Amino acid sequence: MKNLPLADPGIPDLRSPGRYLIFVMRAQAGTLSVAVLFGIVWMVAQALMPAIIGKAIDQGVAAKDTGRLTFWAVLLLAAGVTQAITGIARHRYSVALWLNAAYRTVQLVSAKASQLGATLPRRVATGEVVSVGANDVAHIGNSVDALGRAAGAVVSFLVVAVIMLLASTPLGLIVLIGVPVLLIAIGPLLKPLQHRNLAAREMQGELNNLASDIVGGLRVLRGIGGEEVFHRRYAAESQRVRAAGVRVARLQSVLDAFQILLPGIFVVLVVWLGARFASQGDISVGELVAFYGYAAFLVLPLRTATEFANKLIRAKVAAGRVIAVLRLQPEIDDPATPVPAPRGNTLVDHQSGFVAREGLITALVSDEPTESAAIADRLGRFIPGEVTLDGVSLADLSLDTLRRRVVVSDTASTLFSGRLREELDLSGHHGDTAVLTRAIHTASAQDALEALPDGIDARVEERGRSFSGGQRQRLVLARALVADPEVLVLVEPTSAVDAHTEARIAERLREHRAGRTTVVVTGSPLLLDRVDTVTFVSGGRVVAEGSHRELLATVPAYRWIVTRGEEDES
């Protein structure tokens, strides 16, 4: 029994899709060798059955020799039992190969996503990542799964060809030459099939990305009446994907038809020639029966070979998408020689002039939301920027140290599936429920727990979809508070909650983060009125600092932004 996930998925070869598939196969060479061995024995045992039946007819039935008939019957039984046992074993090892290849790919992509962090959504569309996880890993697994059968098909074909050559040179040559010719005849369909698979795969990724965008912005779409517009757009895109799938299926159906037609013609030819040789006395009746069995059997290795080629084509397309993700490099790397962590927690963004002083709650308001989001990203070093922590450049700190000292919780933060307790305490260091309860109280998220039968031990569905938007946002805030970093950056932490709840959060946050450095990116007057200081940024630079009321009285641009927010809330 193999334990998954793998302890070490290995270092993949990213030079080409083919090399990646070879890496996946070499990483489980032992299991692959056993699957190939069982695949060969399984199919060779089946290939020998016509020869055994032919011998039984000639030496037992025709010669009326009960002893020889019994001998060949026992041998036939042994071949059948061998085929059954090895068939079961081959299937088990093939499933193990599939799981190993799929999980190895999932682990590599997941590790890369974790390493890339904020770089990933800027470089790869969400729908593309979804397609990799939903479709591509399966195609890679399928290609490895078919290897045992493919190896058995090749060896059994050679065994049958040798047997037929020994019995009848002309028929043996027909088999030895005819089967490769049939494969070559099908070959011209494989290249167009690969191109159509690639085109369909690209369209599927675009459609998944569109679906992710629609779901993510559904609340906004409803607010502006854009649901019908995006519904029509999604319907049109889905029809394009359907048409691409039909094109693939159309060519696939031709390939499947040829897989039946050509071997059928081949069987008829071999049986007709065998019957002529038997009528002329060149071969015995038993050999004729055996030849018919060989011809019928050869349909299986032929179909297996084309099936493997088809799966390999799909796997190469999938592997190309996988390595495109694995080749990505993070925008932020660890320094070659990290400096020791500083003692203080004053955070300064020199590009904008923003300062988050140690032990205070500082609000950041900007006339351009994208600029305030960029400042938050720079403060967490998710994008390059000249930022210092207690005078030490963030670029000189190890990412591990920085991620423990500075936590950024933005509007894109989400919940994962699992127990809510574990979702809120990601580090697992807070076994005491009191810590979690306090964070939930500060985030005013008790109502989310009260709706759950098992409370804090209830299981959370994927992306927390069983919660409302406001509940999800408050639980994400509670998770950030449980982490209790020395510097916490909150981006629009209350944008999805009502005014009464927002007021409670603002009051409790001040007490919860007392003595800790906290940055709140917001335009909400309820939050701004309860922080220690407010910094106003315009044109990418700090233009004013002070209390909320001071800025209202002295900075018209600030007052316009904030009062507009009040009007929107009312």
- Grouping H, G, I as helix, E, B as strand and the rest as coil, residue 541 is strand
347-415+484-569 has CATH 3.40.309.10 classification: no
The type of residue at 488 is L
Residue whose C-alpha is closest to residue 532's, from 505, 562, 510, 557: 510
pLDDT at position 286 is: 83
Q: What is the pLDDT of residue 492?
A: 92
Distance of alpha carbon 304 from alpha carbon 259, whole angstroms: 10
CA 105 – CA 107 distance, rounded (Å): 5
**Local structure of 560: helix, strand or coil:** helix
Start-end of CATH 1.20.1560.10 domains in the chain: 17-326
The structure's pTM equals: 0.65
* Cβ atoms of 549 and 535 closer than 8 Å: no
**Omega prior to 17 cis, within 30 of 0:** no
The CA–CA distances, whole Å, from 393 to 118, 364, 380 equal: 20, 21, 12
Element housing 543 (H / E): strand 541-546
Which residues pair with residue 392 across a beta bridge?
A: 389
Q: Where do the CATH 3.40.50.300 domains begin and end in the chain?
A: 347-415+484-569
Specify the length of the chain in residues. Answer: 570
The amino acid present at 254, given as its one-letter code, is: V
**Closest alpha carbon to 330 in 117, 145, 131, 541:** 117
Mean pLDDT in consecutive groups of 10 residues from the start of the chain, 570 residues: 73 93 92 93 90 89 88 94 94 91 88 76 65 77 88 87 80 74 65 59 53 46 48 71 72 71 74 79 80 78 79 86 87 87 95 96 93 93 92 93 91 72 76 83 88 78 70 90 94 90 94 95 93 96 96 94 60
What topology does CATH give the domain 17-326?
Answer: ABC transporter transmembrane region fold (1.20.1560)
Neighbours of 137 (CB within 10 A): 21
Question: What pLDDT is stored for residue 220 in this prediction?
Answer: 40
> For residue 159, which amino acid is it?
V
pLDDT reported for residue 146 = 87
Residue 226, pLDDT score: 46
Sequence-distant (≥ 6) Cβ neighbours of residue 44 within 8 angstroms: 152, 155, 156, 159
Q: What's the Rg (C-alpha) of the chain?
A: 34
Residue 398's alpha-carbon distances to 339, 381, 401, in angstroms, are 8, 11, 5
Helices assigned H by DSSP within 56-168: 66-116, 119-123, 126-131, 137-145, 147-167
pLDDT recorded at residue 223: 41
Pick from 27, 13, 15: nearest CA to 101: 27
Instruction: Give the long-range contacts of residues 219-226, CB within 8 A, separation 24 or more.
Output: 219/469
Residue ranges of alpha helices (H) inside 27-65 are 29-55
Per-residue pLDDT at 214: 42
pLDDT at 565: 45
